[in-house]
Amino acid sequence: MTKTNVNIFIISDSAGETASKLAQASVSQYEDLDITFTHQTFVSEKESLLQALEKAKELNALIIHTLISKEFIAIANDYCQENGLFCMDLLSPLVNEISNRTSIEPKRIAGAVHSLNQEYFNRITAMEFAVKYDDGKDPKGFLDADIVLLGVSRTSKTPLSLFLANKNLKVANLPLVPQASIPKELWEMDPAKIIGLTNNPEILNKIRQERMKAYGLSPDTAYSNIDKIQEELAYAQDLYDKLGCIVINVADLSIEETASIVLDELNLNSHFGVG
């Protein structure tokens, strides 16, 4: 079956991440399309903007832009209207409405959301913290962490740690293995900062089998054995009960969904804003 081609132009005076995410979310609803993305980002000259618009016209592309300069917005919107092109101006409606309601003029600074402010440096610090205290490397970090994630192998501890770090949270994690000693620092922590991750045995079995295949090994090993997995999960649950920590079953949850639950459980939703 021949797929229908759709061209989408992302035009921005910054990195174009906002427009890209919207476009990706939209096209993910279709299976039989051949999508071609063209990114014209960090537009600072009128000439480069017009060149992008002319190329988009040649391809009858859909245009999504996040321009903040009044001049560039007018050029893009007028060009698309005059040439019958679809144009989505993502920023202007909300920016203009806020100005109307508050009588405050916007700064109109390109890429303002990505400016190197204190929040940015806090995020870098949190990312470095997550890497330093990943996989139980140094339990001393637990006492300085905002969150400590516990879980058996393949419960998404590391990707979740990094995702939460991107929200300016200092996160450490510890893999749980039966018979392994538990760091004393864990018992010294406020249990409200500890998150126990678990999963359904069958799902974990499939994940670990695929992991073995990726390494070119037999999928049927002690690591992926269902009885062994059940033993590990029971051990983890027993520890969670002793700690009195929050427990989240990550089965069928994306990293984003799990992170949202973590932030909700710990009343940290203020960190889950635009970053």
Here the tokens at position 204 are: 């974990």
Q: Are 34 and 153 in the same domain?
A: no
Among 114, 138, 172, where does a domain finish? 114
Q: Are 94 and 201 in the same domain?
A: no
Cα(36)–Cα(147) distance, integer angstroms: 40
Q: Are 45 and 151 in the same domain?
A: no
Whether the per-residue pLDDT at 275 is higher than 50: the answer is no
Could you tell me the residue range of the domain that residue 209 belongs to?
118-271
- What pLDDT sits at residue 114? 62
Among 114, 139, 166, where does a domain finish? 114
Cα(69)–Cα(44) distance, integer angstroms: 9
Reported as a single tens digit per residue, the pLDDT across 37-79 is 999 999 999 999 999 999 999 999 999 999 999 999 999 999 9
CATH number at residue 32: 3.40.50.2300
As a whole number, mean pLDDT of residues 76-103 equals 96
The number of domains in the chain is 2
The answer to whether the annotation marks 154 as part of a ligand binding site is yes
Cα 235 from chain centroid? 30
The answer to whether the annotation marks 38 as part of a ligand binding site is no
- What pLDDT sits at residue 3? 83
Residue of higher predicted confidence among 121 and 198: 198
Instruction: Report residue 136's pLDDT band, with 50, 70 and 90 as the boundaries.
Output: very high
Q: Are 241 and 125 in the same domain?
A: yes
Cα(275)–Cα(269) distance, integer angstroms: 13
- What pLDDT sits at residue 273? 44
The answer to whether the annotation marks 151 as part of a ligand binding site is yes
Closest listed residue to residue 244, CA positions, set 134, 137, 150: 150
How many CB atoms within 10 Å of residue 50?
14
- What pLDDT sits at residue 198? 98
The answer to whether the annotation marks 153 as part of a ligand binding site is yes
CATH number at residue 204: 3.40.50
- Choice among 28-37, 53-62, 218-227, 264-273 with the minimum mean pLDDT: 264-273
The answer to whether the annotation marks 158 as part of a ligand binding site is yes
CA distances from 143 to 170, 183, 216, 267, 268 (A): 11, 11, 39, 19, 18
As a whole number, mean pLDDT of residues 116-128 equals 84
- What pLDDT sits at residue 254? 95
The answer to whether the annotation marks 141 as part of a ligand binding site is no
Residue of higher predicted confidence among 230 and 112: 230
What is the 3-state secondary structure of the chain?
CCCEEEEEEEEECCCCHHHHHHHHHHHCCCCCEEEEEEEECCCCCHHHHHHHHHHHHHCCCEEEEECCCHHHHHHHHHHHHHCCCCEEECCHHHHHHHHHHHCCCCCCCCCHHHCCCHHHHHHHHHHHHHHHCHHHCCHHHHHHCCEEEEECCCCCHHHHHHHHHCCCCCEEEEECCCCCCCCHHHHHCCHHHEEEEECCHHHHHHHHHHHHHHCCCCCCCCCCCHHHHHHHHHHHHHHHHHHCCEEEECCCCCHHHHHHHHHHHCCCHHHCCCC
- What pLDDT sits at residue 120? 79
Residues 6+ apart with CB under 8 A from 100: none
- Choice among 29-38, 105-114, 169-178, 187-196 with the minimum mean pLDDT: 105-114
As a whole number, mean pLDDT of residues 217-228 equals 95
- pTM, two decimals, is 0.68
Percent over 70 (pLDDT), the chain: 95
46 forms beta bridges with none
The answer to whether the annotation marks 36 as part of a ligand binding site is no
Here the tokens at position 202 are: 């069958």
- What pLDDT sits at residue 115? 57
- What pLDDT sits at residue 196? 98
Q: Are 23 and 134 in the same domain?
A: no
The answer to whether the annotation marks 157 as part of a ligand binding site is yes
Q: Are 93 and 79 in the same domain?
A: yes
Cα(259)–Cα(66) distance, integer angstroms: 27
Among 73, 92, 114, where does a domain finish? 114
Whether the per-residue pLDDT at 233 is higher than 90: the answer is yes
